[in-house]
């Protein structure tokens, strides 16, 4: 049966890339927005990748997804974002072995200003934007700065992959199920300076740090493993994370739209309102809840000296990235 009228319009940039290939089929099958919501996909690619995007669109057709109301392919951002309700900004060059994500600033930063302007010009009033392309936080900042008419809280950056990596590490260490772990948080930048924070986390209701009972493991193994996982995947796979990144993008938007479970939170890069001393306007990762289609930074958490120093270090990197994009004339 064809999908019902009034589908949600979802624009995906970098549609012919490796994350795009892992993402589009899951969106079209209903995993992004739920089993009752038809979607119309708008794929944005650079001209030289349009043919590959067409091939992916042919495969989407061949899946006969009942929820897929249509697929358009564009090489023009204004057309691709016209009427978009959800915008997944994936298209950007990935890093290769030996690079830090910040090394991509000048290569990728130039993509996100024009895309922010196109979202400002023509996206739907309820548009929600997730930036995946690296450096994700600062690219989200650039896009948001070019979209003055869109509420700033509609621009987010992906740190859900870091959050999921942290859940997996804790589950493996403690022999627990990821479902039993709550209130874990990723703070700061989606980079090696990020702070995966277990100080408020619980495992089956007990303080996670008490269950783990090994501060050395937390500081010397857990934090660096999560923070450097992207590089470890590149080293092992010869290419950066793709399926796990697509999965995290699905989780991020699904949570944004459908909400966080009672008593738990997740992590997302959101525009800071000055909470926890993070300069207002920066796109930084915080523990967040989602209700009614909006993320809220979890208020009032106590931060010990270790957490404070780690957050400050990652935020200092975000400030440096902001200065760099200002110097490059990208904002």
Ligand X SMILES: NC(=O)C1=CN([C@@H]2O[C@H](COP(=O)(O)OP(=O)(O)OC[C@H]3O[C@@H](n4cnc5c(N)ncnc54)[C@H](O)[C@@H]3O)[C@@H](O)[C@H]2O)C=CC1
Residue number with the smallest Cβ distance to ligand X: 17
Residue ranges for the binding site for substrate? Answer: 95, 101, 134, 165
How would you classify the pairing of strands 68-74 and 39-44?
parallel
> Which of ligand OAA, ligand X, none does 71 bind, CB closer than 5 to 8 A by kind?
none
Both structure tokens of 126: 């309820």
Q: What pairing do the DSSP bridges indicate for beta strands 185-187 and 206-207?
A: unpaired
Q: Which of 212, 233, 313, 331 binds ligand OAA (CB under 6 A)?
A: 233
Residue 233's binding partner among ligand X, ligand OAA, none (Cβ under 5 to 8 angstroms by kind) is ligand OAA
Phi, psi of 280 (to 5 degrees): -55, 140
Nearer to ligand OAA, 161 or 186 (CB): 161
The reply to whether 74 sits near ligand X by the rule CB under 6 A is no
Active site residues per annotation: 190
Give the chain's radius of gyration (CA, Å): 19
**Count of residues in contact with ligand OAA, rule CB under 6 A:** 10
Q: Does 86 bind ligand X (CB under 6 A)?
A: no
228-232 contact pairs (CB < 8 A, 24+): 228/192, 229/162, 229/165, 230/101, 231/97, 231/192
E strand map for 172-219: 181-182, 185-187, 195-197, 202-203, 206-207
Binding residue for ligand X, selected from 46, 172, 232, 243, defined by CB under 6 A: 46
| 133 contact choice in ligand OAA, ligand X, none (CB below 5 to 8 Å, kind-dependent) | ligand X
Interaction residues for ligand OAA, span 126-145 (CB under 6 A): 134
**Residue partners of 103: CB distance under 8 A and separation at least 6:** 95
Binning the chain into helix, strand and coil, the percentages to the nearest 5 are 45, 20, 35
Binding of residue 193 to ligand OAA (CB under 6 A): no
List residues binding ligand OAA (CB under 6 A).
94-95, 101, 134, 161, 230-231, 233, 240-241
List residues binding ligand X (CB under 6 A).
13-14, 16-20, 44-46, 49, 90-95, 111, 132-134, 136, 158, 161, 190, 240-242, 245
């Amino acid at each position: 049966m064809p999908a019902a009228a009034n589908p949600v319009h979802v624009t995906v940039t970098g549609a012919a890339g490796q994350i795009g290939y892992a993402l589009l089929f899951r969106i079209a099958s209903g995993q992004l927005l739920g089993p009752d919501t038809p979607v119309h996909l708008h794929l944005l690619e650079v001209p030289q990748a349009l043919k590959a995007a067409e091939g992916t669109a042919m495969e989407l057709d061949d899946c006969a997804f009942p929820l897929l109301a249509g697929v358009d392919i564009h090489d023009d951002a204004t057309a691709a974002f016209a009427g978009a309700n959800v915008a997944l900004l994936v298209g950007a060059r990935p890093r290769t072995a030996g690079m830090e994500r910040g090394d991509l600033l000048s290569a990728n930063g130039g993509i996100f200003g024009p895309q922010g302007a196109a979202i400002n010009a023509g996206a739907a009033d309820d548009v929600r934007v997730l930036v995946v392309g690296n450096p994700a936080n600062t690219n989200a900042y650039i896009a948001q700065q070019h979209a003055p008419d869109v509420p700033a809280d509609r621009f987010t950056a992906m740190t859900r992959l870091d959050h999921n990596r942290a859940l997996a590490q804790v589950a493996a260490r403690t022999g627990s199920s990821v479902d039993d772990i709550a209130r874990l948080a990723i703070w700061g930048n989606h980079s090696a300076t990020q702070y995966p924070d277990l100080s408020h986390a619980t495992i089956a209701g007990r303080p996670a740090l008490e269950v783990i009972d090994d501060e050395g493991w937390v500081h010397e193994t857990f934090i660096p493993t999560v923070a450097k996982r992207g590089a470890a995947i590149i080293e092992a796979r010869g290419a950066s994370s793709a399926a796990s990144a697509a999965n995290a993008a699905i989780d991020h938007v699904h949570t944004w739209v459908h909400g966080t479970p009672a008593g738990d939170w997740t992590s997302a890069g959101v525009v800071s309102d000055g909470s926890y001393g993070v300069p207002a306007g920066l796109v930084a990762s915080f523990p967040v809840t989602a209700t009614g289609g909006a993320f809220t930074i979890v208020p009032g958490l106590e931060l010990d000296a270790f957490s404070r120093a780690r957050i400050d270090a990652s935020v200092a990197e975000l400030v440096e990235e902001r200065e760099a994009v200002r110097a490059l004339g990208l904002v």
